[in-house]
Amino acid sequence: MRILAAMSGGVDSAVAAARAVEAGHEVVGVHLALSRAGGTLRTGSRGCCTIEDAMDARRAADLLGIPFYVWDFSERFRDDVIDDFVAEYRAGRTPNPCMRCNEKIKFAALLERAIELGFDAVCTGHYATLVDGPDGRELHRASDDAKDQSYVLGVLTAEQLAHTYFPLGQTPSKAIVRAEAAARGLTVAQKPDSHDICFIPDGDTRGWLADKVGVAQGDIVDRTGAVVGSHEGAHGYTVGQRRGLSLGVPAADGKPRFVLEVRPVSNTVVVGPREALATAEIAGGRFSWAGRAPASGDFPCHVQIRAHADPVPARAVLTDAGVTVTPESPFDGVAPGQTAVLYDGTRVIGQFTIDTTVSAVPVPA
């Protein structure tokens, strides 16, 4: 196949490209420039898509003997990922920018250009497995549960899966990938993995959002509506948060309180006890299927609501409004804007963005 290898400058994408070359494919490497602030460098495991990363990707491509290009996707990344991130927080939701990047950039914009240029597939260093099933290509979990990235790939459609290539999916551990990189002479063999949000490399999400959205003082209330504190912008809070609340009125039972809800229209943050984070139902309208669609509008599944959360047995129901999921046991601290990925065993069925949640704990009278 003619394969376009997306090379981030990290060890995973470098080894994935190397395996594609070794398998006999015609491979071209490409690094995506996603920021106009090209002078920035990585600090340990923080940040990505920097000048340093582009140089690391080029060195890997040179070692593999493949052509290498840098493509400027910064404008598309700003519009589809960064602006979306800010808009979601303004709306009181908790977005996942990695999901949007996979959906809009790596497997939409990049894949579209790759196909236009005559490539058969885009290769990345994601840890997930592709299986050619009776009804087409299927997306499954990786062999290494600790590194599995099928959750953040849950936004891929059947058409996109038909043009993807994940050489690392069956690798038992990341240690094997690093050892292989060292054996191949790749200088990124021990490079730290990237963490946090790539466009907020210092990790200060609240400060970054305050600069983008602004400061607006509002109330922090308990579940009965009683004011227990104040804040300088509801966008700086997310469901499940405990630290940084600065509450002026202690709870009657003396226990810590957690963010239960963010109401952007009234600029109000609702807090309550830990047990009130239990969620009995989630629903959303923006959904897609990773391969074949469910045969029935009412089906059992497992649902994962975060990249590193445990999947929960549940029942999903399709309606005209979207997807509603009821777990066998309550989810823990779900926020609108998060992505729910549905599984059938190891296979990804599809995903939807959570719009509404129903608490498992009644509001006190």
SS3 258: strand
- 176 contacts: CB under 8 Å, gap ≥ 6: none
**Tell me, what's the pLDDT at 213?**
82
Identity of the residue numbered 214 = G
As a 3-state breakdown, the chain gives helix, strand, coil percent values, each rounded to 5, of 25, 30, 45
**Tell me, what's the pLDDT at 49?**
67
> Does residue 50 carry a pLDDT above 90?
no
Q: Which of 48-62, 94-108, 198-212, 276-290 has the highest mean pLDDT?
A: 276-290
Banded pLDDT at 36 (limits 50, 70, 90): low
Banded pLDDT at 37 (limits 50, 70, 90): low
Dihedral sign for Cα atoms in the order 109, 111, 115, 118? positive
Catalytic positions: 101, 198
- Rounded mean pLDDT of 245-255? 85
pTM score: 0.91
> Does residue 45 carry a pLDDT above 60?
no
- 116 contacts: CB under 8 Å, gap ≥ 6: none
Q: Concatenated DSSP letters for 191-243?
A: PPPPBS-TT-TT--HHHHHHHHH----EEEE-TTS-EEEEES-GGG--TT--T
Residue pair 238/335 in contact (Cβ under 8 Å)? The answer is yes
> Does residue 325 carry a pLDDT above 90?
yes
pLDDT digit string, tens, across residues 185-196? 999 999 988 766
Give the number of C-alpha atoms closer than 13 A to the C-alpha of residue 64, restricted to the C-beta side: 31
Q: How far apart are the first and last CA of the chain?
A: 64
Q: Is 44 exposed, middle or buried (0-12, 13-18, 19+ CB in 10 A)?
A: exposed
SS3 94: coil
CA-to-CA distance for 348 and 302, rounded, in angstroms?
9
Number of C-beta neighbours around residue 225 at 10 A:
10
CA-to-CA distance for 60 and 55, rounded, in angstroms?
9
Q: Indicate the range of 29-43, 90-104, 243-257, 272-286 predicted with least confidence.
A: 29-43
- Rounded mean pLDDT of 111-140? 95
> Does residue 313 carry a pLDDT above 50?
yes
Banded pLDDT at 252 (limits 50, 70, 90): confident
Q: Indicate the range of 42-51, 98-107, 303-312, 355-364 predicted with least confidence.
A: 42-51
Residue pair 270/223 in contact (Cβ under 8 Å)? The answer is yes
Banded pLDDT at 39 (limits 50, 70, 90): very low
- State the average pLDDT for the chain: 90
Q: Which of 22-31, 215-224, 241-250 has the highest mean pLDDT?
A: 22-31
Distances (CA, A) of 59 to 69, 114, 183, 241: 12, 22, 15, 42
Question: Do β-strands 258-263 and 312-319 pair in parallel, antiparallel, or remain unpaired?
Answer: unpaired
**Tell me, what's the pLDDT at 292?**
86
pLDDT digit string, tens, across residues 150-173? 999 999 999 999 999 999 999 999
SS3 50: coil
Our measurement of the distance from residue 67's CA atom to the centroid of its chain's CA atoms, rounded to an integer in Å, reads 29
Our measurement of the distance from residue 63's CA atom to the centroid of its chain's CA atoms, rounded to an integer in Å, reads 31
